[in-house]
Structure 1
Amino acid sequence: MNMLLDNYDQCQLDNWYWFQEAFTEDELLQIEQIQEPIPFNIAKISHDTDDLEIKRKSEIKWLKKEVPDFKWLYERFITMATEANKSLWKFDLTEIVDDLQYTAYHHNGGHFDWHMDLGSEKYARRKVSITMQLSDPEDYEGGDFEFMIGNEVVKLPRKKGCVILFPSYFLHRVTPVTKGTRKSLVLWIYGPPFR
Structure 2
Amino acid sequence: MIFAIPEVLTSDELKLLQTRLADAEFIDGKLTAGWHAKLVKNNQQVKSGTSEFQEFKSVVEKALQRNPLFQAAVRPRYVHSLLFTRYNTGMSYGRHTDNALMGQALRRSDVSFTLFLNSPGEYEGGELVIESADDEKAYKLPAGFAIAYPASTLHRVEPVTTGNRLVAVGWVQSLIRDPGDREILFDLDTARRAMFAKEGKSPEFDLISKSIANLLRKWAE
CA distance in 1, matches of 2:5, 2:102: 31
> Is the CA contact 2:84–2:169 (under 8 Å) kept in the aligned structure 1?
yes
SS in 2 for 1:86: helix
Could you tell me which amino acid in structure 2 is paired with residue 34 of structure 1?
A: R
More helix by share: 2
CA distance in 2, matches of 1:187, 1:73: 10
TM-score where L is the length of structure 1 = 0.73
**Larger Rg over CA atoms:** 2
- Percent of matched pairs sharing the same residue: 21
1:137 to 2:111 alignment: no
What residue number does 1:47 align with? 34
SS in 2 for 1:96: strand
1:111 to 2:92 alignment: yes
What residue number does 1:71 align with? 58
SS in 1 for 2:85: strand
**1:35 Cα deviation after fit:** 3.3
**1:192 Cα deviation after fit:** 7.8
What residue number does 1:6 align with? none
1:101 to 2:83 alignment: yes
**Which residue, out of 4, 11, 14, partners 1:28?**
14
What residue number does 1:19 align with? 5
120-129 vs 164-173, greater mean Cα deviation = 120-129
What residue number does 2:181 align with? none
> Is the CA contact 1:17–1:84 (under 8 Å) kept in the aligned structure 2?
no
What residue number does 2:154 align with? 171
RMSD (Å) for aligned C-alpha atoms:
3.0
Q: Evaluate the alpha carbon distance shift between residue 167 and residue 34 of structure 1 in structure 2; reply closer, same or farther with a 3 A threshold.
A: same
Which stretches in structure 1 are left out of the alignment for 5+ residues?
Answer: 1-14
CA distance in 2, matches of 1:79, 1:116: 28
Deviations 1:37-76 (CA, angstroms, capped at 9, x unpaired):
4310001153336x94x50110101566983564232121
CA distance in 2, matches of 1:33, 1:19: 23
TM-score where L is the length of structure 2 = 0.66
SS in 1 for 2:8: coil
What residue number does 2:45 align with? 60
CA distance in 2, matches of 1:103, 1:168: 18
CA distance in 1, matches of 2:62, 2:18: 18
